[in-house]
Chain A
Amino acid sequence: MGRYLVRRLIQAVFVLIVISAITFFLFWATPANPALLICGRNCNAETVAQVNATYGFDQPLVVQYGHYMQGLVSPGGRTIGSEGNERNCPWPCFGESYQNGIPVWNSIKDAFPSTLWLALGAAVLWLLAGVLLGLIAALRKGRFIDKLSVGLALFGVSFPTIVFGYLLLFLFIVKLKWIPFPDTANAALFTVGPVKWLQFYILPWITLALVFAALYTRITRANMIDTMNEDYIRTARAKGLNERTVVFKHGLRSALTPIVTIFGLDVGGLLGGAVITEQIFSITGLGKFSIDSVLSNDLPAIMGVVLFAAIFVVLANIVVDVLYAVIDPRVRLS
């Protein structure tokens, strides 16, 4: 187990280095001159040269990449700025925003809690809804409730987030006025209290959860139907166990194993930001931060948020593999 974990972590670091390199060279090799972006309207040859020297744009890309990675690897971070105006960018240094000079890591740190709440709340919602619906559908296969859940699932999979999100927003905020318009101040649980916080997050949670809930309903149903046809279920029944034990202890446990994999990966993917949901409900999380950075061509910010998101995806992969071995005794880690 320990050796496996170490090997996976080394692999993960390798994958992250590849991703960082690809991302860096893709973005920094853009013809749009970053110096022009930074100095804005009062650009002349002199200021451009100065900015180039300050940010190191005049050096070869490989050197720039090395410098960038130094900020992420070395515990002391790295120094940025021109001669005479040097400052330390502490670890982990993702550079400074071209737009406002704020260290990217600070922006990421500020944006992350909103994204975390959004992703976790939605995850609880879709896991409960998906597994419950899928389970009921499988146990009542062919009946009305089964057809209803299958239909709902298909509907949910086909509902684009932009459409569903605005539908909820229109219905509950504009038309029925049950919930006030989103105010980013309400994203902080500990300052505004649970009621306002819930009001702020409930619609985004539902919006984000819909597609996943639909997918999980399908997967749970299919797995559960397969599992309940297994021989060991018949054995369990023949032993005289009551139906509840058969369904939950013997059936559901094995049917849920694949769900663990998908769930880990889905949550991991969302921690990098749920761009569309955050945009619809004006949540200032990582998704909003990343789209704002993309629209303003803020390279260090884009690079930072993409790398940050990739870390979660890669970590989620490892966590899932380990969990899988814990749940399913047939899986050997080697």
Chain B
Amino acid sequence: MTLGVSETQSPDEGLPTDALVETAEAKEIEGRSPGEIAWTRLRRDKIAIISAIVILLIIAVALLAPLIVKLNGFPPDQFNKVDANGNPLLNTRDGGIPIGGLWGSGTSSEHWLGIEPQNGRDIFSRLVYGTRVSLLVALGGTVIAVVLGTVIGMVSGYFGGWVDTLLSRLMDIMLSFPSLLFVMALTPVVASRAQDLFGTPDNNTLRMGVLMFVLGFFGWAYLARIVRGQTLSLREREFVEAARSLGAGPNYVLFRQVLPNLVPTLLVYTTLLLPTNITAEAALSFLGVGIKEPTASWGRMISDASNWIEGNPLYLFFPGMALFITVLAFNLLGDSVRDALDPRAGRS
């Protein structure tokens, strides 16, 4: 293997292992771990940087929602039927469509993105609060799915035998469920179960928990299959054999030796599962089995707005765009992370 291999030519294989050669260039490359190389690659990827910035902004909006809403002064649940001067904002004779604004959406210097027909709630404020629901549910569902998928996949791949057979069949069955249909049907069931279990009424905190649980429960099987495959091959590697011959137990091997090697896969899968779950939450709330009134959620807003598509199309446009931009940013970042960790996949 020659030295001074340029970065673009399969860098993971081009790392000089021959420490005897002492050129400045060699030393510079020598000290970098695969993680560092991926990080450098990611930082050079303009699309990755832009989508990361967008995602950070979205997260900031979610975290700072109360402060941002204070800025425009309309809480998300407040009905605004008249403006500061007492003039009506909604046309009561026309089914409650906002008066004025772009395309009859009621946009003004006070209500930046307009107001809802009928109730006159501020769309900007609801959009900002909807970010919280969207990200929180997606994150919760993703964490549950990744933890379940990793543990079940590792156990299945490492122990083999009847454990593997049993868990693999379970994965097959989970994957052959019609998932959206099943998630949709199961959400109300789990919600009523959870009410009994925790003794709480059917509020939206409970609903969010239920959505996380359901998304997580139906999301782990695919990852488990991938993790199982990787564990199968990692199990046979020399370093695992060495550890076992020194007396390491399965816990040590799984969590100290197999798990660190799974990190790239888990990282890629997590970034790609997040947008899937964001879409799923929106879809469930859109269908009426997810988040309910009065809590703002993008899917719920789209479903409400669809009734006003003729009179007030902008009401539909804003939550739709919010959803689209968020999902796109996560997908772009996910692709970049995958390319950075494994340049052979995807781009070839």
Question: Please, how many angstroms separate the alpha-carbon atoms of A138 and B178 in the complex?
Answer: 32
Residue of A nearest to B348 (CB): A225
> Contact at A310–B331, with CB atoms within 8 Å?
no
Which residues of chain A are within 8 angstroms of B346 by Cβ–Cβ distance? Answer: 222
> Contact at B306–A19, with CB atoms within 8 Å?
no
> Contact at A294–B188, with CB atoms within 8 Å?
yes
Cβ contacts A27-39/B at 8 Å (1 or 0 each): 1001110000000
Question: Please, how many angstroms separate the alpha-carbon atoms of A275 and B348 in the complex?
Answer: 36
Which of B63-71, B235-243, B322-330 forms part of the interface with chain A? B322-330
Question: Please, how many angstroms separate the alpha-carbon atoms of A273 and B182 in the complex?
Answer: 11
Residue of B nearest to A305 (CB): B181
**Contact A290 to B282, CB < 8 A, known contacts A26-B189, A313-B176:** no
Which residues of chain A are within 8 angstroms of B196 by Cβ–Cβ distance? Answer: 31
**Contact A27 to B173, CB < 8 A, known contacts A154-B332, A166-B320, A275-B180:** no
Residue of A nearest to B197 (CB): A31
CB distance from B254 to the nearest CB of A (A): 28
CB distance from A207 to the nearest CB of B (A): 13
CB distance from B298 to the nearest CB of A (A): 9
Which residues of chain A are within 8 angstroms of B332 by Cβ–Cβ distance? Answer: 154, 158
Which residues of chain A are within 8 angstroms of B299 by Cβ–Cβ distance? Answer: 162
Question: Please, how many angstroms separate the alpha-carbon atoms of A295 and B288 in the complex?
Answer: 7
> Contact at A166–B181, with CB atoms within 8 Å?
no
> Contact at A279–B287, with CB atoms within 8 Å?
yes
- Counting contact residues on chain B (CB < 8 A from A), the size range is 35 or more
CB distance from B175 to the nearest CB of A (A): 9
Which residues of chain A are within 8 angstroms of B172 by Cβ–Cβ distance? Answer: 15
CB distance from B52 to the nearest CB of A (A): 16
Contact pick for A276, options B176, B178, B275, B286, CB 8 Å: B286
Which residues of chain B are within 8 angstroms of A161 by Cβ–Cβ distance? Answer: 279, 283
**Contact A163 to B320, CB < 8 A, known contacts A19-B176, A19-B177, A158-B275:** yes
Question: Please, how many angstroms separate the alpha-carbon atoms of A297 and B316 in the complex?
Answer: 28
Residue picked from A32, A158, A162, A291, most chain B C-beta under 10 Å:
A162
A5 lies within 8 A of chain B by Cβ: no
Apart from A294-B188, A295-B288, A306-B178, 20 more pairs, CB < 8 Å: A15-B173, A19-B173, A27-B189, A157-B331, A158-B332, A166-B306, A166-B320, A167-B320, A174-B309, A174-B313, A222-B346, A226-B348, A273-B181, A280-B306, A294-B287, A295-B289, A302-B185, A306-B181, A306-B182, A312-B178
Q: What are 10 A-B contacts with C-beta separation under 8 Å? A: A157-B331, A162-B323, A166-B316, A174-B313, A276-B287, A280-B306, A290-B184, A291-B184, A291-B289, A294-B287
